[in-house]
Amino acid sequence: MADKITIGRILRLLAISAKMDLVWLLRDTKYAILGIAGDMVNNVATVSGVFLIASRFGGIGGMSADEVMFMMAYSTLVTGIFIMFGAGNSIHISRIIGRGQLEHLFIQPLPLGVQLMTRGFNPFTGGGNLVVGTALMALAVNRLGLVITLWWIAQLIAYLITTMVIIIARSYLVSSMAFYAPAAAEEISSTAIDGTWFMSTFPLSGMPKYIQFPMLTILPEGLMAWFPALCLLGKPPLNLTAYYPMFFALAISLAASYIFKKGLRHYVQKGSNRYLSHGFRR
Amino acid sequence: MKKYLKTAHLSASEKTNGGIIYLFPDILIKIFTLIPLVYLWRVVMSSGADAGMSLGQMLTYTYVSALLADMLVVKTAASGWLSEGVLQRLYGRPLPVLSQLAAQTVGGWLPMLALFSLPMALISPLFGVRLIPASPLFFVSLLLCVALGFAVDFLFACLSIKLRSMNWLIGRMRMAIAAIFSGTVIPIRLLPFGMAEVMKYQPFASLGGAPLSVFTGVGDAGETILLQIVWNLVLWPFALYVWKKSQEGMVSYGG
């Protein structure tokens, strides 16, 4: 019998995941700290590349070096939230599907969505980039002389949530392939998430429209940092409404939900035979 | 030699066994990363600031970096060999493990070279990119880059043994190196705050950034190749020594 799902129940599940994360940190501190440091170094290296170029050339495509830093801070915050909620392949869902591990979730007395939402929460070992992102954001805001109001902070949170929704929805959309081709599509979410991460740090300002528009629609990397950052700076690009990312997030979520459910039905009927008797994947 | 060619062939076939269609997402991502990157550099270089290289050289640098990405920062299956069960497979064959890894890795490059690099090289004039090396020494530099890449990769594999197979951490470190230290994304000579002078002597600069600078003619080919030779001479014996010491510490638990 499945538990009744309430906000309190979800918070308790998140607390269980957080507690397990803390236990790892306390029992295996050296390796946990190495993991945290690795995450932070990698992200700082990724975003600093673009920032260093902006510093070297005095800005990129009309964005000043400080505005580029603001965009990189936003990108780091997104990375931080992603890592904090994404442990255990909850967002890289094609790995779970492709490896035939959905069954592990089916036997739990909780809806699939609730499990996926709560099981990857690792605030202690996964929160490093969120801290770095917050510090970078404070620095960028200070250098740009932005006036911070409660409304601005609410907007920042709304954009961060929207960006996360787009990342997750796209991952689930493409991961639906793994229901039909578990071996071949096992890593498709890595292609969709990790493969595009670097691209999402590109400031698109100054590029031709035939590059900008596809990167806000077909391959929405412009919505991962560039568009929201410019909106938060009060300069929504391309004469689009500042709410465009929200509309896009809604559309891609609906598409992902439909396709994923269809794939799940196929999986439930056909199953997966990825494992050999001695444990290795086929 | 035949057995290594066969290993490479098997590795290439393995990538396409599920059908070429499953390589398309990776190919599309590579194309959709390369095109905006070309335009990004156009925008950046149009600022008029002195970069020490022309727009044409910069575009060529970026383009060649994308086409030869797998070779410029070598990644074998070794980092994941403890958790992915690769170890069991490699030790079960009557061939030296490191040579197998090298053959397997080179074979794994072929599908992407055929399906991404070759077509993109053919349409490079559309992007205003000239794909003729400034010096034939580029091929020597590329060879040294690949050789050094394997040594660095084996060292990372040993590190993963030392770190109880923390592939995630190793992967993140490698990505950081590729992003900043290797010069494959941003030419080291473009780094600000005096970083360029210091960074060009570190070993990772002898990976991708070295052949790319020789290809585009922005670096002193003689000095670049000399540095590559030095780092190969330093890191190969070190990698083999550490590898020999690390084998005893391997623990594999399958997938």
Contact A280 B85 (CB under 8 A): yes
The model's pLDDT over A141-191, given as tens digits with 9 standing for 90+, comes to: 999 999 999 999 999 999 999 999 999 999 999 999 989 888 778 888 888
**Whole-angstrom distance, CA of residue A80 vs CA of residue B75:** 26
The CA–CA distances, whole Å, from A92 to A46, A80, A116, A168, A171 equal 20, 15, 11, 8, 7
Instruction: Determine the distance in angstroms separating the CA of B35 from the nearest CA of chain A, rounded to an integer.
Output: 8
Res B91: pLDDT: 82
Interval B67-78: pLDDT, tens = 999 999 898 888
Between A90 and B48, residue with greater pLDDT: A90
Report the pLDDT value the prediction gives residue A182, as an integer from 0 to 100.
84
Query: Best of A31, A187, A207, A217 to disrupt the B interface by mutation (most B CBs within 10 Å)?
Result: A207
Question: For residue A134, what pLDDT is reported?
Answer: 93
Cross-strand pairs, A281: A275
* Beta pairing partners, A63: A60
Which amino acid would we find at residue A31? Y
pLDDT band, very low/low/confident/very high, at B116 (cuts 50, 70, 90) = very high
In percent, how much of chain A has pLDDT > 70?
96
Contact (Cβ atoms closer than 8 angstroms) between residue B76 and residue B105? yes
Closest CA to A71 of A239, A235, A191: A235
For chain B, the first-to-last Cα distance in angstroms comes to 31
Helix (H) or strand (E) holding A172, with range, is helix A150-175
Residue A277: inside a domain = no
Between residues A211 and B194, which one has the greater pLDDT?
A211
- pLDDT score of A52: 84
Of A55, A199, A206, the CB nearest to B33: A199
Q: Which domain holds residue A154?
A: 7-270
* Mean pLDDT, range A199-213, rounded to an integer: 88
Cβ(B214)–Cβ(B133) below 8 Å: yes
Q: What is the structure's pLDDT at B253?
A: 64
Task: Using the predicted structure, report yes or no on whether residue A281 has a pLDDT greater than 60.
Answer: no
Q: Sorting pLDDT into bands at 50, 70 and 90, what band is B165? A: low
Q: Which residues from chain B sit within 8 angstroms of residue A55, using beta carbons? A: 192-193
Residue-level pLDDT at A126: 85
The confidence band for B93, taking pLDDT boundaries of 50, 70 and 90, is confident
What is the pTM for the complete model shown?
0.86
Residues B64-91 have a mean pLDDT of: 81
Per CB-CB distance under 8 Å, the chain B contacts of A44 are 176
Residue A145 belongs to some domain of the structure: yes
pLDDT above 70 (res A1) = no
Q: Number of structural domains, chain A?
A: 1
**Which pLDDT tens digit goes with each residue over B2-57?**
888 888 888 888 777 767 777 888 888 889 888 888 888 888 887 776 777 888 89
Question: Hey, is the C-beta of A35 within 8 angstroms of any chain B C-beta?
Answer: yes
Pairwise CB contact (< 8 Å): A203 & B40: yes
Angstroms from B28 CA to nearest CA on chain A: 10
For residue B40, the chain A residues in CB contact (below 8 A) are: 60, 202-203, 207
Segment B41-45 long-range contacts (CB within 8 Å, at least 24 positions apart): B43/A60, B43/A61, B43/A205, B43/A206, B43/A207, B44/A53, B44/A57, B44/A60, B44/A61, B45/A57
DSSP secondary structure letters along A262-280: HHHHHHHHH----B-TTS-
Q: Which residues of B touch A211 (CB under 8 A)?
A: 35-36, 39
Give residue B52's region: left, alpha or beta (phi > 0; psi -120 to 50): left
- Work out the average pLDDT over A201-226: 90
In a domain, A2, yes or no: no
Say how far apart CA A253 and CA A259 lie, in whole Å.
Answer: 10
Residue type for A52, please?
A: L
Q: What is the pLDDT of residue B84?
A: 67
Subunit contact A31:B255, Cβ cutoff 8 A: no
As given in the structure block, the two tokens for residue A157 are 């949170």
